[in-house]
Structure 1
Amino acid sequence: MPTQRSHLFIISLLGALSVISPFAIDMYLPAFEQIAAELAVPPTVIALTLSSYFIGLALGQVFYGPLLDRFGRKRPLLFGLSLFVLASIGCALAPDANTLIALRFVQAIGGCVAQVASIAMVRDFFPAKDSARVLSRLFLFIAVSPLLAPSIGWVMVAAAGWKSVFLVMAFIVGVVLALVQFLLPEGHKPDTSISLKPGPILAEYLVILRHPRFATYAFAGALSFAGLFTYVAGSPIIFISGFRLSEGTFSIIFAVLAVGFIGASQVNVLLLRWATSETIFLRALLGQVVTAIVFVTGAGAGWWGLNETLALLFVFLACIGLTNPNASALALSPFTKNAGSASALLGFFQLGFGALISVGISAATPHDSFPIIVILAVTAVCGLVVLLVGRRAAAVVAPEESAAPSEPHDEVEAETSPKRSGEVPVAPSGEAA
C-alpha cells in the first residue's frame, strides 16, 4: 500500500509535470525585446512564438489522450519530455525568428503530454474520493507559475541573456524526465483495445461536437478564454514596448494581473454556493464585454494611461477567471463514458481559438497596442453572441440526446446543481487543468 511519503512524491512530480507548459509560456516573456533585437525582427513577430506554442498545445490535447490509454502513461510521457528537451535546446540555438517559431511548436507538442498525463495519473494513483483534493493541489502548482515564471525569466535574461531561459527549461525538464523514468511507477497498463485509427477517433469527436450544450459553452467559453491568450502574447508589447517599462517592472505587473485571474477562479467556488454556473458565466461574460468596450473606446480616444490600463486589464482577466471554469463545467456536464474525449476536444478549442486569435497580434506595431485591445473586445463580444444564440438550444436538449446514449445522464441536475457544475477540474492556461 502506498505510503504518505510516496503519495507526497507522486503529487510533487505530477505538480512539476503540470507546470512545464505554463513555465514555457510565461518564463521568456521579459525577453521579447532582447530576442527581437538579436534576431532583427519587431517584438510583434516574436509574439508568434507564443501563438505557435498555443497551436502545438491545442493539437497535442487531441492526440495524447488515446496514446496515454493505448501505451500506458510512461512511454508517451518519456517521448514527449525528450522532444521538449531537444526542442528547447534548438530554441536556444535558433538562428532566426522563423526557426524559433517552428521549434516552439515542436516544444509544445512535446510538453503537452506532461499536462495531459498529470491529470490522467491522478486517477491512476489515488482513489476517487481523493481526486478533488489532489487536483486542487495541482491547481496550486499551476496558479503559482504566472506569479513566478516571468520573474525567474527576467533574472536569467539579465544575468545570461535570453538563450539561457531555454537552456534552463531543457535542464529542468531533463531532471523531471529522469525522475519519471527511474522513480515514477506505471499507473496504467497499456490497453491494446484502444483504437488509434483516425476514423473512430474523429467519429467520437464529431458526436460530441454535435451536442448543442457542448457546442454552445465550448465555443462561447473558448472565445472568452481567447482574451487570456491575447493578453499573454500582447502584454510585453503593451508594457515593455508601449509604456517603456523595464523587464523587472513588467514581471511584477504580470504577476499582479495574474492575481485577478487566479483570485476570481477561487471566488467562483464561493459563488457557486448561491448561483448556478449558467448565471455566473452569463454575468461574467457580460462584465468582460463591457470592460472590453470601455477599454477599446478609451484606448482609441487616447484616454488611458498606465494606471487605467492596469485597472481595466485586471477586471478583464478577473471576468475570464469566472467564465473559464463555468463554461468548461457546463460544456462537459452531459458526458460520462466519453468525458475524456470531450475534455480533450474542449481543450483543443480553448487553446486553438486562443492560438489563432493571438496571431492577430502580429498586426500591431511595437509601439501601438490598440490592435491588441481590439482583439480583446472582438473575442469577448463574439463569445457573448454565441452564448445568447445557442443557450436556448443547449437548455432544451433532452437527456437521451446526450453524446453518450449508453450512459444515462440527468440533464436537469446539471442545470440546477451549482456544486456539480463546479466539480469539473479545469486548468488555467491552460490551460486548462
Structure 2
Amino acid sequence: MASNQIQPRLGNTGFIIFLALLSAFVPLSTDLYLPALPEMTHFFAVPEIIMNLTLILFFIFYSIATLFWGPLSDRYGRRPILLIGLTIYLIASILCGIANSATQIIIFRVLQACGGGVATTVATAVIKDVFVGRKQETTLAIVQSMVVISPAVAPVVGSLLLTFISWRGIFFAQALLGITVVLGTLIFKETHQPESESMRLLRSFGRLGVLLKDPGFTALLMVFSTMSIISLGFISSSSYIYQNTFHLSSELFSLFFAFNALGMLLGPLIYIPLSKYVDRFVIIYSCFLLTIIGGILVLLFGLHNPIMFALTEFPATLASSAIRPPGTYLVLKQQENDNGSASSLYSAGGTIMGSIGMVVVSVAEAYPVAAIALINIIIGAICWLALWLSMRGLRQQIKI
C-alpha cells in the first residue's frame, strides 16, 4: 500500500472491514430478507413471481446504477459519491420497512438498488487505487471471503429476527447497515484524486465505451460475469426450494443455506494459498469443471431430498466463489486507469447476468432444483469454452 494512501483513521484492519462491508451490500440487501419472501408473498396476497420482482428488479437497477457511480467516482472522488449513494440506500431501506403494498416494496427496492449500486463499484475501485500486483489479488480474495460470510449469516439472522418481529424489521436492519457504512465513509480518507474541472462529465461516462472497445477487457468481462448466473440463480431460488419444494421451516432453511454459503466462504480462502503453487488459469478451468460436476450430481441425487441437494450443490457454490478473486483481478488488469469505470462495468456485468439466472429459475418455478442443476452444467461449460477461445484468439491482447 502506498504511504500516501494508508487510512490513518480506519487503520489497515478497519480499512479491510470497511471494504468488505461495502462489497457485501448486494448479499446483505438480498439474503437478509430471503427467509421473509414466502411470508411477504402471503402478506400481500400476490404470486411468487410478483414478489420475486423485489429481487429481480433490484439486481437490474443495481447493475444500471453501477454504470453511473463508477464514472462519477472517477470524476468527483470516491468519498463524496459514496456518501450520496449510501444516503439514498438508507432512506430507501426505511421506506421499504413502512411500505403498504407489493408495488411500493418493488419501487422502494429499486430506489434501494440505485443507492446501493455505489458500494461494490467504489469498493473494487478503491482496492485498485491502493493495491497492485499479487497484493491486489490477495486483498480481493480476503475481502470477498469476508463478503461471502454474509450469505451464510444473513439468512440465519433474518430467520431469527422473524421470530421476534415481522418482515418489516428486516428492512430496518438494512437501514442500520446503511448508517454503519455511512459513518465509515465519513472517516474514510479519499484514495483517488478527482479529475480536473476541465474534464467533462460526459467524457467520464464515455470511458465506459472506450473500455468496452478493448477486446481483452470485454472478453474476460463476459466470461467472469456469466458465472454470476450460477450464484444469483441459486440465491434467489433457495428460499423457495428449501421452504416450498422441500417443506422446511424458515429456521431450517437458514441452516441449509448457511451450509451452501460455507462453500462461498471457502472458495476465496482456498484460492489464496493454492494460487501460490498452481497457475491461476488451472484453478479457473478446474472450477468450471467442478461446477459442471456439481450440476450433474444434483440431477442424479439431489432432486428429492434437501440434504442431498445441499451436498450436491456445494461444489458449484465453492467453485463459483473461488473464481471471483482471479476473475476480478484479470478483468481489472486489462486497464491501468479508469478504475471506477472498469469496476462499474464489472459490477454491472455480474449483476445483469445474475438477473438472467434469477429470471430463469423464476420461470422454472415448478422445477427449481432441476433448473439450478442445468444452469450449473450449461453455464460451467459455456464459460470454460468461452475462456479457452478468448485466450486462444486474443493471446496478444490479454494481459495475464
Whether TM exceeds 0.5 here: the answer is: yes
Aligned to 2:274: 271
Q: Distance in 1 between matches of 2:138 and 2:376?
A: 34
Q: Could you say which residue in structure 1 is the equivalent of 2:51? A: 46
1: distance between equivalents of 2:382 and 2:126?
37
Q: Deviations over 1:190-235 (max 9, x none)?
A: 3235442177234313313xx1x44444333333331110110000
Shift in Å at residue 386 of structure 1?
5.0
| Residues 361, 371 of structure 1: 8 Å contact kept | yes
Which residue in the other structure is 2:85 paired with?
80
Is the counterpart of residue 204 in structure 1 residue 210 in structure 2? yes
| Structure 1: unaligned runs, 5 residues or longer | 403-410, 415-433
Task: Tell me, yes or no, if the aligned pair for 1:230 and 1:361 is still in contact at 8 Å.
Answer: yes
User: CA contact under 8 A between 1:217 and 1:387: conserved in structure 2?
Assistant: no
User: Given the alignment of the two structures, is residue 285 of structure 1 paired with residue 288 of structure 2, yes or no?
Assistant: yes
Return the offset for 1:26.
1.2
Partner Cα distance (2:181, 2:284) in 1: 37
Distance 1:204 1:90, change over 3 A: same
SS at match of 2:100: coil
**Equivalent pair of 2:145/2:265 in contact (CA under 8 Å):** no
Stretch deviating more after TM superposition (248-257 or 113-122) = 113-122
Q: Could you tell me whether the CA contact under 8 Å between 1:17 and 1:118 is conserved in 2?
A: yes
On the 8 A contact 1:27/1:153 being kept in 2, the answer is: yes
Q: Which residue of 2 aligns with 1:325?
A: 325
> Which residue matches 1:143?
148
Shift of 1:258: 0.8
Code of the residue aligned with 1:308 in structure 2: it is M
Q: What root-mean-square deviation, in Å, do the aligned CA atoms of Structure 1 and Structure 2 show?
A: 3.1
Q: Distance in 2 between matches of 1:126 and 1:277?
A: 19
2:175 matches 1:170 = yes
Helix, strand or coil for the counterpart of 2:176?
helix
- Pick from 102, 111, 126 the counterpart of residue 106 of structure 1: 111
**Matched letter for residue 184 of structure 1:** F
CA–CA separation in structure 2 for the residues paired with 1:96 and 1:379: 35
Q: CA deviation at 1:5?
A: 6.0
- The structure 2 residue matched to 1:190, chosen from 187, 194, 198, is 194
Residue 271 of structure 1 and its aligned partner are, at CA, apart by 3.0
2:231 aligned partner, one-letter code: L
Match for 1:344: what amino acid?
A: S
**Is 1:350 paired with 2:347?**
no
User: Does the Cα contact within 8 Å between 1:216 and 1:394 map onto a contact in 2?
Assistant: no
Q: 1:325 to 1:15 in 2, by over 3 A?
A: closer
Runs of 5+ unmatched residues, structure 2: none
| Within-5 A mapping of 1:18-417 | 18-122=23-127, 138-181=143-186, 183-191=187-195, 192-197=197-202, 200-208=206-214, 211=215, 213-296=216-299, 304-338=304-338, 340-365=340-365, 368=366, 370-378=367-375, 380-385=377-382, 387-388=384-385, 391-397=388-394, 399=396, 401=397, 411=399, 414=400
C-alpha contact (below 8 Å) 1:223/1:380 kept by paired residues: no
Give the CA deviation at 1:63: 1.5
Distance 1:376 1:354, change over 3 A: farther
Count of residue correspondences: 393
Structure 2 partner of 1:423 = none
Counterpart of 1:91, as a letter, is C
* Pair 1:311–1:194, CA change in 2 (3 A): farther
AA aligned to 1:262 is L
Counterpart Cα distance in 2 of 1:109 and 1:356:
19
Does the CA-based 8 Å contact 2:260-2:310 persist in structure 1?
yes
Q: TM-score, normalised by structure 1?
A: 0.80
Q: Retained in 2: the 8 A contact 1:263–1:318? A: yes
Secondary structure at the counterpart of residue 278 of structure 2: coil
Distance 2:293 2:389 in 1: 23
1:96-135 Cα shifts (integer Å, max 9, x gaps): 2233223212211101212222343456678999766765
Alpha-carbon distance change, 331 to 316 in structure 1, aligned in 2, over 3 angstroms: same
| Alpha carbons 2:122, 2:343 under 8 Å: kept | no
State the AA in 2 paired with 1:249: L
**Deviations, residues 154-202 of structure 1 (Å, cap 9, x unaligned):** 1222211000111122133134324534x33444443235442177234
Distance in 2, matches of 1:51 and 1:74, equals: 28
Q: Could you tell me which amino acid in structure 2 is paired with residue 255 of structure 1?
A: A
Q: Secondary structure at the match of 1:149?
A: helix
* Structure 1 stretch displaced more, 325-334 or 138-147: 325-334
Contact 1:56 1:105 survives alignment (8 Å)? yes
CA displacement, residues 267-304 of structure 1 (integer Å, 9 cap, x when unaligned): 222332343222222232122123213423556xxx63
What is the alpha-carbon distance in structure 1 between the residues aligned to residue 388 and residue 7 of structure 2? 47
Read off the aligned partner of 1:109 and give its amino acid letter: C
Looking at structure 1, the residues matched to 227 and 125 of structure 2 have their Cα atoms a distance apart, in angstroms, of 26
